[in-house]
Structure 1
Amino acid sequence: MNQVTLGKTGITVPQNAFGALPIQRVCQDYAVKLLRRAYEGGMRFFDTARAYSDSEVKVGEAFDGMREKVYIATKTAAKTPEEFWKDLETSLKNLRTDYIDIYQLHCVPQCYRPGDGTGMYECLVKAKEEGKIRHIGITAHKLGVAEEIIESGLYETLQYPFSYLSSEREQNLVRACKEKNMGFIAMKGLAGGLINRSEAAMAYMTQYDNALPIWGIQKETELEEWLSYMEQTPSMTPELTAYIEKEQKELNGDFCRGCGYCMPCPAGIQINNCARMSLMLRRAPSKNWLTPAMQEEMRKIEGCLHCGKCKKKCPYELNTPELLKKNYEDYKKVLAGEVKVQ
């Protein structure tokens, strides 16, 4: 397994890290078991966030008493200094630690700078001076914001969605981070579930020696699959190259990543599933998405208020209402037998 150094932080870990968002969906004991198994299997970098409900608590219990053996990154979605300090103290308590390796501003709408009037960057600097955080990071979902962040030179790491479905401009983010000696943390390496061949996803990542992928893990089977690559790391072969090129052609264009930042919907629509239903029907066993319960969820699209709130909140600037409409029309055709899926 390749080792990755996150820019000027000096943090060097295997190019195979644990994304702890999904463990909020499982019980404490199971999550702790997963995290400890990840460590035993060679993972050393663990990413969580205040926004991930009890994920921090689970990470804290898993690594209590062995803090120096792992690197922990977490995030705050604070918009004011007051919220920042409250979140930081809560994270330290949850994680059972007196410091955080990388503290990241979460899904930012802008590149926070010194003297911009928000006080957010100043909070990061003060927290680092106090020893509560060791490195200053930031996460973004909007490409233009990410480019501005890199150019600013203010942050030690950038976390951004990155996979073999990423555009050339998004690939340039990784290259720019390397030039700036800035760590690049790749979230959504499976494109929100659209990529279903982990071997291809991992092989693609290994082409970028400065990118650290954090795989969202919820099940033991998923974890063991990723851990198997510690000893036998996939690399790009002619077969995998052809497979990825085919995927890129089929999945080119705007698609919902299922991040959920558009939620909640005033009409109760499960946007993060419904707006990408056409893809999921064709990339996973369709029966899982054609249940009576899921049909009921899709019917809620008929009650769309056209308020535009989801469109405004989408970090990828997608036309969410239009995506919902298209996916619902396709779904009805599948149900009627007019369109065949597996």
Structure 2
Amino acid sequence: MGFVTLGKTGIKAQKQAFGCLPIQRISKEDAVSLLHRAYDGGMNFFDTARAYSDSEEKVGAAFAGMRDKIYIATKTGATTAEGMWKDLEQSLRMLQTDYIDIYQFHNPAFCPKPGGEDGLYDAALEAKKQGKIRHISITNHRLAVAHEAIDSGLYETLQFPYSYLAGPQEQELVDKCKAAGMGFIAMKGLAGGLIRDGMVAAAFMEQQPTVLPIWGVQHQWELDEFLSCIKEAPAMTAERQAVIDHDRKELSGDFCRGCGYCMPCPMGIEINNCARMSLMLRRAPAAGWLTEEWQEKMKKIETCLHCNKCSSKCPYGLDTPRLLKENYEDYWKVLEASKG
């Protein structure tokens, strides 16, 4: 079985890791069963967050009494030391543990450092001293913050969006982390649903020995696909490379990655899906997106205030109102064509 050593942490994680955001959408019983299946299949690294509603609680229920057999990473979105301590104590309770392996600042707009007015990094240092966290880490969607975190030498891992649709900017982060002895955890390995073949995505990740992908899993069939990669690492065949080449050509340029950091919209527009609807219509069965429910959601684009709050928060610098308008127009064309 292939493992990834996360930089200088000493953590050796199975190459196929479990992203626990989606389990907030299923029952506790189903989540526990899925997590047990993941562990039995060889997975040993589980990534969650305080912000993922009851995800931590489900992870805690699944692994109570076997804490030493797995690695747990979680996150705090706090902006003050007081808030971080509150999040940490709650995470420890929900996870039914007395320590977190990797404690991550969750997509901060800045890079927390010792002596900062926010007090975040100093609080994390104290928590590490107390044994409540073992490694101080950071997640982000902003290239500038990610570079600052690597260059600072303060963090032991970086979590950042990374898939075969990534460009040279993201690859530079991977390479810098490797050179700095810093672990790299890849979120959005399926590009928020734009990549449709998990085996192709996993084969790409196999070519990056220092990258640990955390696959967002909600269904057993999804899990089983990645568990099969533990039994036999997926090779990069000519057919799989052809899929990657096609997708890179089709999905190059300005497109919404679906990260959701532009949310919430003051008019209730579901931006992270509506701004990439054209892609979803063509890369997944269209019928699921042409329902009356989704027609109503797309109609909300008509109420856009053009306040540009979404654009100002987009980590990729996209002109989100323009994308919404273009996807709105395309949606109705596809809908009309489907009726004919």
Q: Do the two structures share a fold, i.e. TM-score over 0.5?
A: yes
Which secondary structure does the structure 2 equivalent of 1:235 belong to? Answer: coil
Q: Spell out, residue by residue over 1:253-274, the C-alpha distance to the aligned partner (whole angstroms, 9 max, x if none).
A: 1221222222221111111110
Q: Contact 1:217–1:223 at 8 Å: present in 2 too?
A: yes
Amino acid aligned to 1:60: G
Which secondary structure does the structure 1 equivalent of 2:240 belong to? Answer: helix
* Alpha-carbon separation, structure 2, partners of 1:181 and 1:235: 26
Greater CA drift, 145-154 or 17-26? 145-154
* Alpha-carbon separation, structure 1, partners of 2:332 and 2:280: 14
* Alpha-carbon separation, structure 2, partners of 1:339 and 1:126: 62
**Pairing 1:317–2:309 present:** no
* Alpha-carbon separation, structure 1, partners of 2:303 and 2:184: 41
Counting only pairs closer than 5 Å after superposition, residues 211-250 of structure 1 correspond to structure 2 as 211-250=211-250
Counting only pairs closer than 5 Å after superposition, residues 1-342 of structure 1 correspond to structure 2 as 1-337=1-337
* Alpha-carbon separation, structure 1, partners of 2:93 and 2:175: 36
Deviation at 1:339, TM superposition (A): 11
Deviation at 1:316, TM superposition (A): 2.3
Amino acid aligned to 1:294: W
Deviation at 1:102, TM superposition (A): 0.3
Amino acid aligned to 2:258: G
Greater CA drift, 195-204 or 230-239? 230-239
Q: Spell out, residue by residue over 1:121-142, the C-alpha distance to the aligned partner (whole angstroms, 9 max, x if none).
A: 1111111001000001100101
* Alpha-carbon separation, structure 2, partners of 1:119 and 1:281: 45
Greater CA drift, 215-224 or 313-322? 313-322
* Alpha-carbon separation, structure 2, partners of 1:108 and 1:300: 29
Q: Contact 1:333–1:339 at 8 Å: present in 2 too?
A: no
Deviation at 1:338, TM superposition (A): 9.2
Which secondary structure does the structure 2 equivalent of 1:336 belong to? Answer: helix
How high is the TM-score relative to the length of structure 2? 0.98
Greater CA drift, 268-277 or 112-121? 112-121
Compared with structure 1, are the counterparts of its residues 338 and 198 closer, same or farther at alpha carbon in structure 2 (3 Å cutoff)?
A: closer
Aligned residues: 340
Greater CA drift, 116-125 or 206-215? 116-125
Compared with structure 1, are the counterparts of its residues 35 and 260 closer, same or farther at alpha carbon in structure 2 (3 Å cutoff)?
A: same
* Alpha-carbon separation, structure 1, partners of 2:165 and 2:246: 11
Which secondary structure does the structure 1 equivalent of 2:74 belong to? Answer: strand
* Alpha-carbon separation, structure 1, partners of 2:242 and 2:285: 23
Amino acid aligned to 1:54: D
* Alpha-carbon separation, structure 2, partners of 1:42 and 1:239: 27
Amino acid aligned to 1:156: E
Which secondary structure does the structure 1 equivalent of 2:325 belong to? Answer: helix
Deviation at 1:332, TM superposition (A): 1.5
How high is the TM-score relative to the length of structure 1? 0.97
Which secondary structure does the structure 2 equivalent of 1:184 belong to? Answer: strand
Amino acid aligned to 1:335: L
Q: Spell out, residue by residue over 1:145-185, the C-alpha distance to the aligned partner (whole angstroms, 9 max, x if none).
A: 11111111110000000000000121111111111000000
Q: Contact 1:57–1:94 at 8 Å: present in 2 too?
A: yes
* Alpha-carbon separation, structure 1, partners of 2:221 and 2:243: 23
Deviation at 1:117, TM superposition (A): 2.0
Q: Contact 1:162–1:188 at 8 Å: present in 2 too?
A: yes
RMSD: 1.3
Amino acid aligned to 1:271: I
Amino acid aligned to 1:36: H
* Identical counterparts, % of pairs: 63
Which secondary structure does the structure 1 equivalent of 2:8 belong to? Answer: coil
* Alpha-carbon separation, structure 1, partners of 2:69 and 2:338: 56
Deviation at 1:52, TM superposition (A): 0.3
Gaps of 5+ in 2: none
Greater CA drift, 319-328 or 234-243? 234-243
* Alpha-carbon separation, structure 1, partners of 2:6 and 2:133: 16
Deviation at 1:235, TM superposition (A): 1.8
Q: Contact 1:159–1:184 at 8 Å: present in 2 too?
A: yes
